[in-house]
Amino acid sequence: NVSGDRAVSVTYWMNRLQGLSDARPYFVTLNPLMEVDPEQRWGEYDYDHPVFSQRAMQAQPLLGRLQGRQGTWFCGAYFGYGFHEDGIRSGLDVARAFGILPPWEAGLPESITRGQAKPAPVPAALPETA
């Protein structure tokens, strides 16, 4: 939040995100604002994002020297600022090192690279049922 006194809370509706049956709704909540009923929990997990020191940031340019040594290649969020996009970018860099281009660079038709399915809109809030 703006004042910085607590972490941002977000809930994902996994049925929609993962294409799961609506028979039982599944939600994943990060940093819940209130306690979730223990009877409704399937699991509780602690996740961390990389936290970079000045020394780690200075070492990042050297990561490329590790690539391909003894047939080992690395990718992950630590190749950038710790975001998912940094992990994707570094994975694409490894793929390119093997001569594999992502579909949008390989000249494939848009119908293949973008797919034909259109995701259904997700409402910001579900309507209340009376």
Q: Which residue ranges make up each domain of the chain?
A: 1-33, 47-116
Q: What does pTM read for this prediction?
A: 0.54
Which DSSP state fits 40? G
Consecutive 10-residue runs of the chain (130 residues): their mean pLDDT? 72 88 88 88 81 88 92 91 90 94 80 55 52
Q: Residues near 42 by Cβ (< 8 Å), separated by ≥ 6?
A: 26
Q: Give the pLDDT score at 62.
A: 92
**CA–CA distances in Å: residue 42 to residues 8, 18, 25, 34:** 22, 17, 12, 17
Take residue 6 and report the two structure tokens written for it: 């607590």
29: three-class secondary structure by DSSP: strand
Burial of 88 (0-12, 13-18, 19+ CB in 10 A): middle
Q: Give the pLDDT score at 44.
A: 87
